[in-house]
Amino acid sequence: MLLLALACATSDGTDSADPVVDGEVAWYGDVEPIVTQSCAGCHVAGGVGGFALDTFESAAPMAEAMAAAVETGRMPPWDAAPGCNTYRGDLTLDADAVARLRAWADAGAPAGDAADSAPGEPPVEALDRVDVTLSMPEAYTPNGATSDDYRCFLVDWPVEEATYVTGYRVVPGNAALVHHVIAYIASPLQVEEYQGLDDAEAGVGWTCYGGPGLGDQSDAEWMGSWAPGGSSGAFPNGTGIKMKSGSKVVLQVHYNTAGGDAGSDLTSVEVMTSDDVDAPAYIQPWTDPTWLDGTGMDIPAGSEGTEHSFTMTNTWSPFQVHTASMHMHQLGRTGGLEIEHADGSTDCLVDVQDWDFNWQRTYVLAEALTVEEGDKITVRCTWDNPTEEDINWGEGTGDEMCLGTMLWSF
Ligand code: HEC
């Protein structure tokens, strides 16, 4: 049945003589290009996927698990609904690719002929070069108080002159523990306060959730977004995020210890820098400032599909939007960002229909969008609240947020 379905799904016009249809789906030529494009950005030695799948030797023993993971849609992680926008490095697999992975597993994961190797485009997560490696100051062992430990680490930024970050890649130290990582910029003015948070708690780092733990967290400047699920890699369209001289970086790491005692972690982030960029850019959070006092974004106990949205008009100069991502906590159900132009037409930036806290990817727009003066940007979120508590904006794991983030340049 599967092979029949595959014959129909084959889009390159081949007929039943195609080796795919005969069940002779091989790693080289059939499966390798799919894995390179949609899996290898994370499933590479030392990558956030926790185990490698980028070579025949590493993938073959995993063939059944790979087929099952793509059939159920668990992998690759990609939560942006189709039809909203098109994105650079879209990982989504079409029916043909899913069927190929299934047929390969059913055939016993044959290698085929290495001469047919055509790995295709490198994954977007790959960096051209690594200029700076940021590493946690020392290894950390999750405190074990709960199965989710959110810990922030103040990390030195070793470049003395001002420079731009133009790409990055997270390298989890202990993939069995590290669930995701976010890098914030600690400006020279904030470094002392962050040091205070670190000093106030025993052990390396401090507990933090929803942000790096200082003041109004939605204002915290991001250097890089969530990973896994964060689109690490080179920033788009010649953009770069400025690092002032004297800055540091706060790495927020979410440790999940549900899998049992897995020891300690020493995570690092590889960074690409440049003295000069075409478009200096920054990551702009988008949210209703009145929500932040913890009263304006009520999600009543026992409610389903509660919606809040916030719209603001661009009263500044025109600017370019390069990326879009959403941030909520555990109860989020849907969320999105949209531009309404002065003539009434709209551009959807990102639309998440099935929110998953663990996959907060940054979606890189295939083409940057211009927001003219007078255009409106709206962020919108819905939640289901099955608990007996009314929930509002807050920093705790049980609180919620509704935040869009975009990479902007003027
Ligand atoms: C953005 C990063 C990322 C990409 C891309 C990715 N994975 Fe994963 N994958 C992970 C992480 C992280 C885990 C660990 C489990 C978790 O946290 O959900 C995982 C777990 C898995 C697992 C074991 C658990 C399960 O759900 O079965 C399989 C198998 C898997 N991935 C296959 C794939 C395949 C095949 C692809 C490409 C089609 C792929 N992954 C793409 C990050 C990624």
Please tell me the predicted confidence (pLDDT) of residue 287.
92
For 297-340, the pLDDT digits (tens) are 999 999 999 999 999 999 989 999 999 999 898 899 999 999 99
Q: Which residues does a 6 A CB cutoff place in the pocket of ligand 1? A: 38-39, 41-43, 48-50, 62, 65-66, 69-70, 74-77, 91, 93, 228-229
Ligand 1 center from residue 76 Cα (angstroms): 6
Over range 176-191, report the average pLDDT.
Answer: 87
CA atoms of 90 and 84, how far apart (whole Å): 13
196 with 152: CB under 8 angstroms? no
Ligand 1 center from residue 50 Cα (angstroms): 8
Strands ordered across the beta sheet of 148-156: 206-207, 148-156, 248-256, 178-186, 222-227
| Residue 112's pLDDT band (cuts 50, 70, 90) | very high
Structure tokens at 141: 């062992």
Q: What is the pTM of this model?
A: 0.85
Please tell me the predicted confidence (pLDDT) of residue 304.
97
CA atoms of 121 and 254, how far apart (whole Å): 31
Ligand 1 center from residue 184 Cα (angstroms): 25
Nearest CA to ligand 1 atom 35: 66
Please tell me the predicted confidence (pLDDT) of residue 230.
56
Which percentage of the chain shows pLDDT scores above 70?
91
Q: What rounded mean pLDDT belongs to the chain?
A: 87
Q: Is 280 exposed, middle or buried (0-12, 13-18, 19+ CB in 10 A)?
A: middle
For 223-258, the pLDDT digits (tens) are 765 555 555 788 889 999 999 999 999 999 888 887
CA atoms of 5 and 199, how far apart (whole Å): 61
Nearest CA to ligand 1 atom 32: 66
278 with 166: CB under 8 angstroms? no
Q: Which of 42, 64, 92, 232 has most ligand 1 atoms within 8 Å of CB, for mutation?
A: 42
CA atoms of 355 and 366, how far apart (whole Å): 22
Please tell me the predicted confidence (pLDDT) of residue 60.
98
Q: Which of 1-15, 334-348, 391-405 has the lowest mean pLDDT?
A: 1-15
Nearest CA to ligand 1 atom 14: 49
Which percentage of the chain shows pLDDT scores above 90?
63
| Residue 215's pLDDT band (cuts 50, 70, 90) | low
Over range 39-50, report the average pLDDT.
Answer: 84
Concatenated DSSP letters of 60-99 = GGGHHHHHHHHHTT-SS---BPTTS--BTT--PPPHHHHH
For 278-293, the pLDDT digits (tens) are 999 988 889 998 998 8
Please tell me the predicted confidence (pLDDT) of residue 1.
29
Ligand 1 center from residue 393 Cα (angstroms): 31
The two beta strands, 163-171 and 239-243, are antiparallel
Q: For each of the domains in the chain, give its residue range(s) and CATH number, in order of start.
A: 2-116 (no CATH), 132-277 (2.60.120.310), 282-409 (2.60.120.230)
Please tell me the predicted confidence (pLDDT) of residue 379.
98
Please tell me the predicted confidence (pLDDT) of residue 23.
56
Please tell me the predicted confidence (pLDDT) of residue 218.
58
Ligand 1 center from residue 93 Cα (angstroms): 13
